Chains A and B, each alone.
Chain A
Amino acid sequence: MADLIQAKPVVAGRAKGKALVSREPLSLWGGYDQETGEIIDRRHSLSGQVAAGRVLVLPYSRGSSTTTAVLLEALRAGTAPAAILTMAEDAFFALAGIVAEEMYGSGIPILAVDRAAFERLETGQWIEIDADGTIRIDA
């Protein structure tokens, strides 16, 4: 049975992919290899996982202000997640999506979900995101 969630599209777009979920915030600088899409923060629960092409679900972005630049580089290199879902509007991720649209004509969807929805998301679920922010989850 598919489960539907209504998210707020912070940067609207369509995407689908397997969820990669952490309840811990992440800095992409020092945390995301822009050449491979691997999570490289060795103190983070997703360390070693590859987020390229996945729907990355995090509470918010932590730490460095270079997170946005890393995401923009990954978007250009094709190693970015398919979409990013956070628990509230995350300005750092949103900005990379916006600048990618301005520079290259396309970014990735960045969406905000509420806590209840956030807690229903689990690694491995198949996720489809629509431009209006509707998220379809298949276990």
Chain B
Amino acid sequence: MLDGVQGPADQLAMRIVSRMASVVGAERLMDITGAHIDSSLYMGEATLEFAEKLSDLGAQVKVPTTLNVSGVDEAGWQEWEVPAIWAKKARQQMIAYEGMGCTPTWTCAPYQLELRPEFGQQVAWGESSAIVFANSVLGARTERYPDLLDICAAITGRVPEVGLHLTPNRAAQVHLQLEDIPRELQEHDSFYPVLGYLLGGIAGDRVACISGFEIEPNEDQLKALGAAAASSGTVALFHIPGVTPEAPSLEAAFQGREPEEQIKLSMDRLRSARSELTTAPGTELDMVVLGSPHFSLAEFESLAPMLKGASKHPKVQFLITTSRAMAALAERAGLLDPIRDFGGRITLDTCILTTPMLPEKIRSLMTNSAKYAYYSPGLLNVSVAYGGMAECVNSAARGKIVQENGIWQI
């Protein structure tokens, strides 16, 4: 490919993959069998020029490839404040990636789709929250692929043979032990973003093992845990003995090695992490946003009964961000009407952090997502309050931030 025999697009993509292989010290390249592309996100002229350059050169992906969020809700952007020029360029970037043969999934949670990688499958995924899910929950194998490299991997079908593609690098290094964390809290959705936020700060870029669960967390809880840990830290893989597939036991999680560091997580530490996620100075509330990573069908199922008979306060906006596929399933199951009846709206393909959709007057957000809570103050210049799904719904109905400390005070 480097010699250009397979065309200029393959040549450019392979030159970038090869140069990166030498940066990361890979001795050779290896094959992948799938990819998930975060480069599809329109960030400005440069990301669009890169996409169009590849597309103009005739690039085609060699492996089944899904697309992360885009820079615009293709069908619904006009309901919001998105400038027309932004929508046009973000749309152009979407077309460029679709033209390369990628599947237009437009979601940061591609693992919620039917076709997802299997245990042991070697893939090249972008999107930090998806990477940690693929590695930890599915047991697929991906390095942390940055934007621009993910698409080069998909075009060439090759990646540097390093990092989390290789078994020895998948052993846990740091051991976090839940200490006297009540079962009731472990079952609660508001626990996992907080635990993940704490995990990211402690683990940094190391592989972590968390033990001490009394329950088996579900996929949405693990999704929230990973997304938070990949925001406050660089966590790309965690193990939970007896829960995640590479850790049938504690010994297996560490591949028989000794932990570099052991840390006990007490209620005190978790409570202080929970309060760090909130930056809002008071109870003033403009908007409630759920769905980072993108809302799943199971989350729509949990939400619907909470909204029954209620409606949002007139001065507060209520938004769910999700994928086309999840919205279609939820619609079929009658789970979107309760959201509309409540006065809520749904944004597809993108999220509040990746498209300039929010009106200037939105100054205070509440969310159940540690990722939204982590990034919104910097990216949107707003204050945030963190709470579980029920706290978010209650706050939207009452028109002010209402955080319930009960379950956290045990």
Which A residues have a C-beta under 8 Å from some C-beta of B? Answer: 10-11, 25, 27, 29-31, 34, 40-43, 60-70, 72-73, 75-77, 89, 91-92, 94-96, 98-99, 102-103
**Residue B82 is within 8 A (CB to CB) of chain A in the complex:** no
Which of these, B12, B23, B39, B147, contacts A10 with CB under 8 Å? B23
Q: List B16-42 residues whose CB lies under 8 Å from chain A.
A: 16, 19-20, 23-25, 38-39, 41
Distance, CA A69 to CA B39, complexed state (A): 8
Most chain B CB within a 10 A radius of its CB, from A40, A62, A89, A98: A62
B231–A63 touching, CB < 8 Å = yes
Closest to A40 in B: B378
26 residue pairs A–B, Cβ–Cβ below 8 Å: A31-B378, A34-B44, A40-B379, A41-B378, A43-B377, A62-B205, A63-B230, A64-B231, A65-B147, A66-B43, A69-B41, A69-B47, A70-B43, A72-B50, A72-B148, A73-B43, A73-B44, A76-B49, A77-B46, A94-B20, A95-B23, A98-B20, A99-B148, A103-B46, A103-B49, A103-B53
Closest to A61 in B: B234
A69–B131 touching, CB < 8 Å = no
Residues of A within 8 A of B279 (CB): 42
Distance, CA A34 to CA B406, complexed state (A): 42
**Residue B144 is within 8 A (CB to CB) of chain A in the complex:** yes
User: How many residues on B have C-beta within 8 angstroms of the other chain's C-beta atoms?
Assistant: 46
Closest to B144 in A: A65
Interface string of B179-216 (1 = CB under 8 A from A): 00000000000000000000010001100000000000
**Residue B60 is within 8 A (CB to CB) of chain A in the complex:** no
Distance, CA A6 to CA B233, complexed state (A): 29
Given A64-B128, A66-B147, A98-B16, decide whether A89 and B43 contact each other with a Cβ distance below 8 A: no
Residues of A within 8 A of B234 (CB): 25, 60-63
Distance, CA A3 to CA B43, complexed state (A): 39
B44–A92 touching, CB < 8 Å = no
Q: Closest CB-CB distance, B205 to chain A, in whole Å?
A: 7
Cβ-Cβ contact count across A and B, 8 Å cutoff: 123
Q: Closest CB-CB distance, B132 to chain A, in whole Å?
A: 11
A60–B205 touching, CB < 8 Å = yes
B126–A65 touching, CB < 8 Å = yes
Q: Closest CB-CB distance, B220 to chain A, in whole Å?
A: 21
Q: List B374-396 residues whose CB lies under 8 Å from chain A.
A: 374-375, 377-379
A98–B19 touching, CB < 8 Å = yes
Which of these, A40, A61, A73, A99, contacts B16 with CB under 8 Å? A99
Q: Closest CB-CB distance, A21 to chain B, in whole Å?
A: 18
Closest to B231 in A: A63
Residues of B within 8 A of A103 (CB): 46, 49-50, 53
A66–B38 touching, CB < 8 Å = yes
Closest to B162 in A: A91
Distance, CA A55 to CA B205, complexed state (A): 23
A95–B148 touching, CB < 8 Å = yes
Residues of B within 8 A of A42 (CB): 279, 377-378
Closest to A33 in B: B378
Residues of A within 8 A of B12 (CB): 102
A25–B204 touching, CB < 8 Å = yes
Distance, CA A40 to CA B353, complexed state (A): 14
Q: List B117-137 residues whose CB lies under 8 Å from chain A.
A: 126-128, 131
A67–B146 touching, CB < 8 Å = yes
Q: Closest CB-CB distance, B40 to chain A, in whole Å?
A: 10
Residues of A within 8 A of B39 (CB): 69
Which of these, A10, A25, A77, A89, contacts B44 with CB under 8 Å? A77
Distance, CA A34 to CA B378, complexed state (A): 12
Which of these, B24, B46, B200, B379, contacts A73 with CB under 8 Å? B46
Q: Closest CB-CB distance, A1 to chain B, in whole Å?
A: 33
**Residue B149 is within 8 A (CB to CB) of chain A in the complex:** yes
Most chain B CB within a 10 A radius of its CB, from A60, A68, A76, A94: A68
Most chain B CB within a 10 A radius of its CB, from A73, A99, A103: A99
Given A30-B378, A63-B230, A103-B50, decide whether A95 and B20 contact each other with a Cβ distance below 8 A: yes
Q: Closest CB-CB distance, B133 to chain A, in whole Å?
A: 13
A68–B378 touching, CB < 8 Å = no
Distance, CA A63 to CA B53, complexed state (A): 27
B20–A92 touching, CB < 8 Å = no
B50–A99 touching, CB < 8 Å = yes
- Which 4 interchain pairs have the tightest Cβ spacing? A68-B146, A30-B375, A69-B147, A76-B46
Distance, CA A65 to CA B145, complexed state (A): 7
Closest to B236 in A: A65
